[in-house]
Structure 1
Amino acid sequence: MTVPPITLPANGRSAGPARDAAPDAAATANAILGRQRARESSARTYARSFPIVPARALGMTIEGTDGRRYLDCLSGAGTLALGHNHPVAMEAIRRTMDSGAPLHVLDLATPEKDDFTDALFATLPAKFADRARIHFCGPAGTDAVEAALKLMQTATGRRGTLAFTGAYHGMTAGALAATGNVSVRESVAGSASEVTRLPYPYSYRCPFGVGGERGAELSATYAERLLDDPSGGVVRPAAMILEAVQGEGGAVPAPDAWLREMRRITSERDIPLIVDEVQSGVGRTGAFWAVEHSGITPDAMVMSKAIGGGLPLAVIVYDQDYDGWLPGAHTGTFRGNTLAMATGAATLRYVTEQGLVERAATVGARMTARLEGLRPELPVIGDVRGRGLMIGVELVDPEGPLDSVGAHPVAPELADRVRSACLARGLIVELGGRFGSTVRLLPPLVITDEETEAVLDRLTDAIAEASKPGRRS
């Protein structure tokens, strides 16, 4: 299947490498960027990596105020399953606006909410959907993580969480505590309270120094024995939370057998299992939900990003046996986003009807295979991994010493140069993983064959240029 391209109105420019902008357009963009630096907080992130001012966007293409165009392989950190301003999402917005539907009614029932719930439940594994309850949260994934943790604490009467190295679950208190990134947690007092950190099976940099299936087996054995050790220091927790594919952790997929082991271990010990599908959901990994690859049924799933069709929306879906909290136990003003429910329902159905889940698997496999094939030519590529259109390319110093698994040292400065070289070539990519040394690709599911080749060509060229001897930031 080839998805037809969606292009911006013709203006003489293509989605290609950045060109010199007209002096007045460049000055306008620089002035806007200058005001942002002067007025916004020092915590801004993407604005530091991408000194551009987007003005228009359609499909996979972003155009800046200076007229330069870029292929967007960030997609709102995975939010834009259909790319920017897709006609399906735009039509849903216009239809809802023209209908006179209330855009904000807290958690009251609306036709749009009912329709979204129908559309979402239709995508869930049948065994899970048959027993599912849904809770609408504040419009960010981190709030949904908070809700899932609170739900399980309420249901079990226990405290504490099992979380994993490399995890990213959000920036609010409970979600941050479960997040593995030390740099964002070390300045926040108490952010690690009541969280037991377990080793995630990251084959290329295996925490046990062995890699492969054996590393995953050791991870499962460690978790099981720690929980059963009367002197292990772990009080039975309220929940385990994990990502089937770690996103910000560097596009690291969990082995299916390991996920099945986590389900067995938690089930046998009456520990609820929460799967965070905020970034990996809605077809991105080549299954509608990443957990489906392993066939397990979690007790709760956390969903956000792409479920809103590009607009803010977050929910948790969970087994009805855990529905024991009181009215108002988790609330928020903006949990009734009518427009997001309308665009979300339209997006979920379009992804299913157009076979975009299968296309993500096909195109992702093609991209991964081509990138893997570059390793002999570009030895700075240490590892290529991921699932579907959730891909990571870990960059290394090929002259550095090998570790016990055969991995060279990370190369974060090289990764920075590659990101900049990509931007100069009209390609937006972001970094993640340990030490920010992994180039992450999260293109929209509607990426065309032509766009796929352009992304790969530009990324290849950027890596080759940035890794030339003598190149430094």
Structure 2
Amino acid sequence: MALTAAPSAGDAILRRQRVRESAARTYARSFPIVPVRAHGMTVEGADGRRYLDCLSGAGTLALGHNHPTVLTAIRRTLDSGAPLHLLDLATAEKDDFTTALFDSLPPGFGDRSRVHFCGPAGTDAVEAALKLMQTATGRRGALAFTGAYHGMTAGALAVTGAVEVKSPLPSGGEVTRLPYPYAYRCPFGEGARGAELSATYVERLLDDPSGGVLPPAAMILEVVQGEGGVVPAPDGWLREMRRITTERGIPLIVDEVQTGVGRTGAMWAVEHSGIVPDAMVLSKAIGGSLPLAVVVYREEYDGWLPGAHTGTFRGNTLAMAAGAATLRYVAEHGLVERADLLGARLTGRLDALKGRLPVIGDVRGRGLMIGVELVDPSGEPDRCGAHPADPELARRVRAECLQRGLIVELGGRHDAVLRLLPPLTVTDEQVEAVLERLAEAIEAASR
């Protein structure tokens, strides 16, 4: 009689997860592994296999897994006996984090701003920013963009673009949806000129007395759309949005949850364009791998009454210590400039790969936030010359990547964009390994 190998501990954990956890789980479906150790960019599974992590906690891990600087800050805080939970009371750790945060903010913004500590997820900071501007302006509506992703709570979901996550339940909020510039699949069918048309459309719509748009409480946007497919907004378009909102007294909220802390080759993505927003929503990397979210805003908007936006878990001492250490490490070790350099190297090499692999329709991004859109080259191109997205191929590529020890997640309008979010500490050798494994996976999946 043949002997059957006993299931591994990892297999048993995955089986229990499938039985116990909700059907809404996502990453666990894409990556059926059980991580047991991690350092830097490397994750080791229960089966002993090692993976290069190009997901980085959806951009949370600016310094990668278990960076010594972050661990030292956490251990020091634990050993100090500092209280780990104090609602919104003042602590030395909060004061230090706030100092590090304000020191990092764009010129002209941080020197006259206030910070509000929110619940530990970015979606609550989005809710806080929207509520803040509704309070300040006395208006209710919001301007948001196609392709946007701002979170899963009611207000954040209302300004999110993806129809799938809104369905089947309606989300609240009076939101006017505007066209985001997306040159490869331009909403106007005009490619690179789409940004100019988008700005013209926004301005004329807001000024049209029969346009149906009431004066809004705020405009909210991402400088680079992450879940929307790694779509960077042109700097000129961002400056136009700032001009349009300023001239009409509309507060501008920039969602930097995924783009912040050096990810795009600037400490904050707005710095590429030079615009100064009225509010910035920050989370993910600012907690140094631990949950933390804030909204920073110009002090003239601080019209809240005490308790206007509260929550139990706004005082995560460990996250503040880890976050302060992360912000300073990124600034002091040149990781912002390195993200810009390595991002250019990666996109350049991927562009070259596109020349011999026609299933790569577009390569785009900023810094170490890169998207590779996969297409069906046999399909009929649209007016911009873009072939149909190929989500099935993208899923096969993701699986082939995992087989080769590379963790890459999908995004974009049709889940056909490979998203690369390596830690800012990625080495030159790891960059080469990512490129090699990714190229092999695309070739294998497209045969």
TM range (shorter): over 0.9
Match of 1:364?
343
Aligned ranges 1:72-151 → 2 under 5 Å: 72-151=53-132
Aligned ranges 1:444-455 → 2 under 5 Å: 444-455=423-434
Flag the 1:23–1:129 CA change in 2: closer, same or farther, 3 A.
farther
Match of 1:201?
181
- Distance in structure 1 (CA, Å) of the matches to 2:8 and 2:337: 44
- Distance in structure 1 (CA, Å) of the matches to 2:172 and 2:343: 35
Partner amino acid for 1:147? A
Q: How many residues align?
A: 444
1:169 equivalent to 2:169? Answer no
1:317-370 CA distance string (max 9 Å, x none): 000000001000001100000000000000000000000000000000000000
1:295 equivalent to 2:274? Answer yes
- Distance in structure 1 (CA, Å) of the matches to 2:394 and 2:423: 22
Contact kept in structure 2, 1:178 and 1:192, CA below 8 Å: no
1:227-273 CA distance string (max 9 Å, x none): 00000000000000000000000110000000000000000000000
Partner amino acid for 2:99? D
Contact kept in structure 1, 2:256 and 2:268, CA below 8 Å: yes
Aligned ranges 1:221-232 → 2 under 5 Å: 221-232=200-211
Match of 1:318 among 284, 290, 297: 297
Shift of 1:188: 1.5
- Distance in structure 2 (CA, Å) of the matches to 1:452 and 1:121: 32
- Distance in structure 2 (CA, Å) of the matches to 1:248 and 1:465: 25
Contact kept in structure 2, 1:246 and 1:252, CA below 8 Å: yes
Match of 2:31?
50
Match of 2:415?
436
Shift of 1:186: 2.1
- Distance in structure 2 (CA, Å) of the matches to 1:204 and 1:371: 16
Identity of aligned residues (%): 77
1:344 equivalent to 2:328? Answer no
Match of 1:392 among 371, 383, 399: 371
- Distance in structure 2 (CA, Å) of the matches to 1:27 and 1:90: 30
Partner amino acid for 2:72? E
1:257-308 CA distance string (max 9 Å, x none): 0000000000000000000000000000000000100000000000000000
1:119-167 CA distance string (max 9 Å, x none): 0011111200111100000000000000000000000000011000000
Question: Unaligned regions of 5+ residues in structure 1, if any?
Answer: 1-21, 469-473
Question: Unaligned regions of 5+ residues in structure 2, if any?
Answer: none
Contact kept in structure 2, 1:116 and 1:344, CA below 8 Å: yes
Match of 2:161?
180
Match of 1:423?
402
Partner amino acid for 1:391? I
Shift of 1:375: 1.2
Contact kept in structure 2, 1:251 and 1:392, CA below 8 Å: yes
RMSD: 0.9
- Distance in structure 2 (CA, Å) of the matches to 1:438 and 1:120: 32
Name the SS of the counterpart of 1:440 in structure 2: strand
- Distance in structure 1 (CA, Å) of the matches to 2:438 and 2:376: 18
Match of 2:195 among 216, 222, 226: 216
Name the SS of the counterpart of 1:126 in structure 2: coil
Name the SS of the counterpart of 2:17 in structure 1: helix
1:199-221 CA distance string (max 9 Å, x none): 00000000000010x11000000
Contact kept in structure 1, 2:154 and 2:172, CA below 8 Å: no
1:434-461 CA distance string (max 9 Å, x none): 1100000000000000000000100000
Name the SS of the counterpart of 1:394 in structure 2: strand
Partner amino acid for 2:329? Y
Shift of 1:417: 0.2
Shift of 1:192: 5.4
Shift of 1:193: 3.4
